Structure 1
Amino acid sequence: MLDATFYQSMFARSPIGTLVLSASADPVILEVNEAFLRDVGLTRAQLVGQPLFGALPAAPGDPDDPHSNGVMALRNSLAQVVASGEPQSLTTQRYPIRSIRPDGSEVFVERFWSVTNTPVFAADGGLLCIQHVSIEVTGHKRAEEALLLSRREAVEAARQAEDGRARMTAVLQAAPVGIVLADTDGRVLDANAAHDALLCRHCSSDGARLDFSEWRGWWADGSARHGQALAAGDWPLAAALRGETSSHHLIEIETFDAARSHRVVVCSAAPILGRDGRVDAAVVVLLDMTERLHAESALRDADRRKDEFLAMLAHELRNPLAPIMAAAELLVQGAAAPAMVRRASSVIGRQARHLTGLVDDLLDVSRVTRGLAVIDKSPLDLGAVIAEAVEQVQPLVASRNHRLELAVQAAPLTVNGDAKRLVQVVANLLNNAAKYTPPGGRIRLAADAEPETGRARLSVSDNGIGMSHELMARAFELFAQAERDADRAQGGLGIGLAVVRRLVELHGGEIGVRSAGPGQGSSFTVTLPLAAGSTAGAAAQARQAPGPEQALGVLVVDDNADAAQMLAIMVQHFGHAVRIAHAADEALALAEQQPADVYLLDIGLPGMDGHELARRLRGDAANAGAVLVAITGYGGDEAHRAALAAGFDFHFVKPVKGGDLRLLLRDIARSRGRGVQERRAGGAARVGNFGQ
């Protein structure tokens, strides 16, 4: 029978790490062999007599690692041994071992173990201790994982090899750039749909070799060769098939469709080398840059126009600032005469109003183009809008000595719109024509109905500087007007047409422009929907309104030739016959030759004023049925009483509003059969209602 020394020697010399533990779920280490000490890198003094889980602490676990529960598994195993008295074997467990580095810091080294816990009983059958045997299998575990990974990689490689061709084809066809692969004989191995769409040709339809002599292209890289045609050997794919490396080239190509259109592409090609280092094939990639280059050019153009606009804006703002500053300095000195003070104050006020107008223009274009403008629509006569717009532009038209022709249908053109905004549209178009037409030019405004479309049509044409095709394409864009070679003596920001287009669109209308070219004038056309039921209403009003046989004879008397001319144009537009006189004597002579139905008299005439002229006309029996209308810059009760005393029927304060004058002349035409006293009574009731 073997003695205890034999068992002690076998335990100590066993190559398998073994511990003798006390018989509990939280045991103390009673003994340890050399193999275990080597496995964990500790000394006997560090282990014997120490609690197992204190001497061998566990590293923090990884909840995502199924092998990271070694401490819990070991505790459970020991508890089962104590409870059942049966051996317990554990599957491979991850149980990192604490190690102390030379610098004294602590580190846990990952280790894997195969563990068996065996109960050892005393002679009386009581549980004496637990034999804990742990075999390190870290190397085996690593090899197993490497083998598993290798198998997975092999399977993945096989799958990739199996699906490689399908994937390559899918990627090739999905690519948004044109791709072609060709062998060294120039035969196409593959080409994607983007390439065929770009060149309008399927390269591999017949399997023939590529013939670069059929390809037409020009260098477009901005270098010294820019614009030169490519020779057959210059094409990047041809160079790559010769084994030459290729950088990116910008080339303008000609497509193979019937139109033979041109596209600009970035072309890159590279050789594909075999294992022996020789060229087996080549690939070329074509990226269509046409639209991007056009967009970049448009952005540069827009940026340039913006800079020009800002420079022009600075110029326009400085113009009124210079006289304002000069006048302000004069006032600061305090030594100026009263007349000079009044003059300086007038300059400041006038130029400040000009500045305000510029700022208002900028704010207006901001509101309108961003959709913040409020349009208050109501039924209105487009003829009244035209009359007010003509009145606004009269000073500019007169100062440039233009001839303004009006051709507006007599029947009302009723539209649903915002009167203020539509006046702004028409006035802007007239201002535009006046500014860009050399002095002494012709401007024509026409308006009529288009029954077949249910729309009103208004056009403003001139014989001015005209527009190029390129400028017409962007005439209604912001900043575009800054480029027109126009006389900018009239100032302005050149943003009116952008506002006009938006306002017309807000009214449900359209605007267009035509020009035969520079120097051949321009024509802007606006169409607006007629108001519902306006056709019948227009017909009824046309029957009531004075036709050509009912037109009034009107004599305009004003010593200001421009004012008289514009007032006459307005009255003529309303459908009446007009004569002009610039002095009282001339007016009396014309009245004697042919009495007028209506006299529009300026009060401030030289020599004989308008009041005296009215008395003379009233004293002539031939003018007993005439209607006299005073036009003056003075308002108030005193001016009204003076007009009535002189024999006037109506009194207008300058500037005369076209809509008011149109209605007055219409009422006079309708009431021509009434007596003079009836008209005078009606006039007395209405005097002072105009221009207040």
Structure 2
Amino acid sequence: MASPVPSRSDQLDTEQRFQTLFEQAPFSVQLLSVDGRTLRVNQAWKDLWGAHDGDPLLEFVLTDYNMLADPQLEAKGVTAHLRRAFAGEPVRLPTIYYDPAELGKPGAARWVEATARPIKGPDGSVVEVMLIHEDVTERLLADRALRASEAQFRTIADAIPQMVWSTRPDGFHDYYNRQWYEFTGVPPGSTDGEAWNGMFHPDDQARAWEVWRHSLATGEPYEIEYRLRHRSGDYRWVLGRALPVRDDNGQIVRWMGTCTDIHEQKRVRDELLANNRRKDDFLAMLAHELRNPLAPISTAAHLLRAAPSDPSKVERSAAIIDRQVRHMTELVDDLLDVSRVTRGLVELERRPVDIKGVVASAIEQVRPLIDARGHQLTTRMASGDVVVLGDRTRLVQVVANLLNNAAKYTPPNGALRVVVEVGERVALCVADSGTGIEAQLLPHVFELFTQGERTPDRSQGGLGLGLALVKSLVDLHGGSVTAESAGPGLGSAFTVTLPLLDGEALPASVLPSSGATPVASRALRIMVVDDNKDAADALGVFLGNLGHLVRVEHEPMRAMAAVGEGTFDVFVLDIGLPVLDGYSLARQLRVQPGGMGAKYIALTGYGSNDDRQRGDEAGFHHYLVKPADLDELVRLLQRA
């Protein structure tokens, strides 16, 4: 059945509807004939181009203007695209820059995009072409602003010293700054997506993924420390941080992150923590070492109190006290010695020194310990004289400390070896077959507060300051010291190298003193002042046994009163006295008739250079540090 033919009224209604739709369309529409002339434009077109009814521009476009013949459109590449539309192909024309001033119109410049669509007849031929224009000015300006912002961001990101990275909301990494690639040394783009995790240390990868996934799931800031592979191939510690970027609705639109190289800070921090742990261990061990002698001293004191008239018990108790006091003195001397050396307060008496004689003296000092533990000691010395410039006493101390450590840390019946070789420098090696040194401890054996695990066999091993003192003294001599060990149970070797001194004469031998304590040839009137009653009374008894006339006082004011009652030859004063310190007491005693011609000896626990300087200024003739060498005190009294 044939389709009904539309009536004239229907055709008018359709034409009217088309005209209404055409005019009210919210976008610019321009109809072109097949020869490129404009047939019709809608109101949106007029608004876009600033035209109105009666406007010469509009009249020109609707009558004389031919788009296919416009040389400006030809130059901009628009005509070629337009001809494709007239050939029957929908096309998007290049963006046109529109400056109203060129057309004598007011308003700002605009950018316009157009789509050309052919309108075909029943036979498929093109009868008209419809141009749809779109004002894209705001979009282009926004794109330009975005590109400028991105360029500015990249410039800033490349300028800062940190590594900067960015991801999409789902965590896909799509940007890294220049520092990332300089640090890692990888090609640009090779760590996009999830490839970044492969840059981490294998032990850190799972943890980094877990923390990152948690941040993506919750929106919480990302922060983690991990080891990142450096371009050198080493792994360095890095602090990774990231924050979400949210839009006005609170939705995450991007993640911005940084990586900061904290390798050196972490190394220093870990080293400080390790030093603090070693210091705490040292202080705990120091308390233990100082308490150990107190028990036998206390027991000996009880024996003396219980049996004061039993000569054998008195002698045995005195021997116990003497040994334990010597042990405590050695501990305190070690502490003071290390303190003075490490603070640069020790001055060396530099003279030509025979290293072979130094080794012999050191072996003589440590021989009792070596023999007690049943060790076999062998020595091998270079031929001829081996002379260095240095302080003989301190060099003996260096070798004795190394030998003492070797004997102490070697199980009974072990082997010790001392070797002296000469090349460009003197090399002195002390080796043992002992407990060895763990690999992680080896680089730190010469540091203060460093000591291996203390076993019961080493419970009387001292404070572990010997090697720190050795290194400091060797450094003062312009030498070096190194430690080697194949591991626990495989022994260790310490090698000291010193500058060789050629053609120098050896120093004359120094004869040791006999150590005997002579009885005083003349009785001196001596006043001892010390607020430590036990120390003062014990010293008074000792000096009295030598034949001197001794008066002991525990308070400075009583000492001042006593000097008014008689004349004294010698004053032995403590410095740390209550009310009036030893310096002030000495000054006041020296102006009293009973103290004018006396010798003043300081006997104190303060032994720094500043303390000695203050002693000289106060008029002290001699300055002894507790616990003083009593033989030295006796010699001073003999000269007095």
TM-score (norm 1): 0.48
Contact 1:219/1:251, CA 8 A, preserved across alignment = no
Q: What amino acid does structure 1 have at the position aligned with 2:286?
A: L
Q: What is the rounded CA distance, in whole Å, between the counterparts of 2:396 and 2:308 in structure 1?
A: 46
Which of 167, 181, 200 is the matching residue for 2:185? Answer: 200
Contact 1:330/1:336, CA 8 A, preserved across alignment = no
TM-aligned CA deviation for residue 174 of structure 1: 4.5
Q: What is the rounded CA distance, in whole Å, between the counterparts of 1:308 and 1:230 in structure 2?
A: 33
2:463 is aligned with 1:493: yes
Q: What is the rounded CA distance, in whole Å, between the counterparts of 2:451 and 2:196 in structure 1?
A: 45
TM-aligned CA deviation for residue 294 of structure 1: 3.5
Matches within 5 A, 1:156-167: none
TM-aligned CA deviation for residue 415 of structure 1: 0.5
2:193 is aligned with 1:215: no
Q: Deviations over 1:399-456 (max 9, x none)?
A: 0010110111231101001000000001111111000111101101010211xx2x11
2:258 is aligned with 1:281: no
Please name the residue that 1:472 is paired with: 442
Contact 2:446/2:467, CA 8 A, preserved across alignment = yes
Q: What is the rounded CA distance, in whole Å, between the counterparts of 1:319 and 1:446 in structure 2?
A: 35
Q: What amino acid does structure 1 have at the position aligned with 2:373?
A: R
Contact 2:200/2:229, CA 8 A, preserved across alignment = no
Please give the secondary structure, in 2, of the residue aligned with 1:324: helix
Please name the residue that 1:338 is paired with: 311
Change in CA separation of 1:212 and 1:508 when aligned onto 2, cut-off 3 Å: same
2:398 is aligned with 1:421: no
Q: What amino acid does structure 2 have at the position aligned with 1:388?
A: S
TM-aligned CA deviation for residue 482 of structure 1: 4.5
2:225 is aligned with 1:255: no
Q: What is the rounded CA distance, in whole Å, between the counterparts of 2:196 and 2:328 in structure 1?
A: 64
Please name the residue that 2:486 is paired with: 516
Matches within 5 A, 1:19-30: none
Please name the residue that 2:243 is paired with: 270
Contact 2:238/2:262, CA 8 A, preserved across alignment = yes
Contact 2:245/2:254, CA 8 A, preserved across alignment = yes
Which of 393, 396, 399 is the matching residue for 2:369? Answer: 396
TM-aligned CA deviation for residue 172 of structure 1: 2.6
Contact 2:157/2:164, CA 8 A, preserved across alignment = yes
Q: What is the rounded CA distance, in whole Å, between the counterparts of 1:529 and 1:163 in structure 2?
A: 67
Please name the residue that 1:483 is paired with: 453
Aligned-CA RMSD value: 3.6
Q: What is the rounded CA distance, in whole Å, between the counterparts of 1:185 and 1:633 in structure 2?
A: 85
Change in CA separation of 1:386 and 1:239 when aligned onto 2, cut-off 3 Å: closer
Contact 2:201/2:228, CA 8 A, preserved across alignment = no
Q: Deviations over 1:568-591 (max 9, x none)?
A: xxxxxxxxxxxxxxxxxxxxxxxx
2:500 is aligned with 1:530: yes
Please give the secondary structure, in 1, of the residue aligned with 2:441: helix
Q: What is the rounded CA distance, in whole Å, between the counterparts of 2:288 and 2:218 in structure 1?
A: 57
Matches within 5 A, 1:110-259: 168-169=153-154, 171-183=156-168, 191-201=176-186, 205=188, 210-213=192-195, 215-216=197-198, 229=206, 236=212, 245-255=219-229, 257=231, 259=233
- Higher mean alpha-carbon deviation, 160-169 vs 431-440, is at 160-169
Q: What is the rounded CA distance, in whole Å, between the counterparts of 2:171 and 2:459 in structure 1?
A: 66
Q: What is the rounded CA distance, in whole Å, between the counterparts of 2:277 and 2:249 in structure 1?
A: 56
Which of 354, 364, 377 is the matching residue for 2:337? Answer: 364
TM-aligned CA deviation for residue 298 of structure 1: 2.6
Which of 349, 373, 380 is the matching residue for 1:407? Answer: 380
Contact 2:228/2:238, CA 8 A, preserved across alignment = no
Q: Deviations over 1:502-541 (max 9, x none)?
A: 101110101111111111110111110011445xx79xx9
Q: What is the rounded CA distance, in whole Å, between the counterparts of 2:214 and 2:318 in structure 1?
A: 79
Query: Structure 2: which 5+ residue stretches go unaligned?
Result: 1-144, 508-513, 519-640
TM-aligned CA deviation for residue 397 of structure 1: 0.5
Please name the residue that 1:304 is paired with: 277
- Higher mean alpha-carbon deviation, 402-411 vs 180-189, is at 180-189
TM-aligned CA deviation for residue 484 of structure 1: 5.4
TM-aligned CA deviation for residue 306 of structure 1: 1.6
Q: What is the rounded CA distance, in whole Å, between the counterparts of 2:170 and 2:288 in structure 1?
A: 67
Change in CA separation of 1:510 and 1:286 when aligned onto 2, cut-off 3 Å: same
Q: What is the rounded CA distance, in whole Å, between the counterparts of 1:528 and 1:219 in structure 2?
A: 43
Change in CA separation of 1:489 and 1:279 when aligned onto 2, cut-off 3 Å: closer
Q: What is the rounded CA distance, in whole Å, between the counterparts of 1:281 and 1:423 in structure 2?
A: 70
Contact 1:265/1:287, CA 8 A, preserved across alignment = yes
Q: What is the rounded CA distance, in whole Å, between the counterparts of 2:322 and 2:496 in structure 1?
A: 36
Contact 2:226/2:240, CA 8 A, preserved across alignment = no
Q: What amino acid does structure 1 have at the position aligned with 2:157?
A: L
Q: What amino acid does structure 2 have at the position aligned with 1:371?
A: G
Change in CA separation of 1:462 and 1:486 when aligned onto 2, cut-off 3 Å: farther
TM-aligned CA deviation for residue 353 of structure 1: 1.7
Q: What is the rounded CA distance, in whole Å, between the counterparts of 1:465 and 1:328 in structure 2?
A: 38
Contact 1:305/1:482, CA 8 A, preserved across alignment = no
Q: What amino acid does structure 1 have at the position aligned with 2:429?
A: S
Q: What amino acid does structure 2 have at the position aligned with 1:201?
A: V
Contact 2:437/2:452, CA 8 A, preserved across alignment = no
TM-aligned CA deviation for residue 239 of structure 1: 7.7
- Higher mean alpha-carbon deviation, 325-334 vs 178-187, is at 178-187
Q: What is the rounded CA distance, in whole Å, between the counterparts of 1:510 and 1:231 in structure 2?
A: 44
- Higher mean alpha-carbon deviation, 328-337 vs 487-496, is at 328-337
TM-aligned CA deviation for residue 328 of structure 1: 1.8
Change in CA separation of 1:167 and 1:325 when aligned onto 2, cut-off 3 Å: farther
TM-aligned CA deviation for residue 277 of structure 1: 5.4
Please give the secondary structure, in 2, of the residue aligned with 1:267: strand
Aligned length: 368
Change in CA separation of 1:488 and 1:272 when aligned onto 2, cut-off 3 Å: same
Q: What is the rounded CA distance, in whole Å, between the counterparts of 2:427 and 2:196 in structure 1?
A: 54
Which of 415, 424, 429 is the matching residue for 1:459? Answer: 429
Q: What amino acid does structure 1 have at the position aligned with 2:268?
A: A
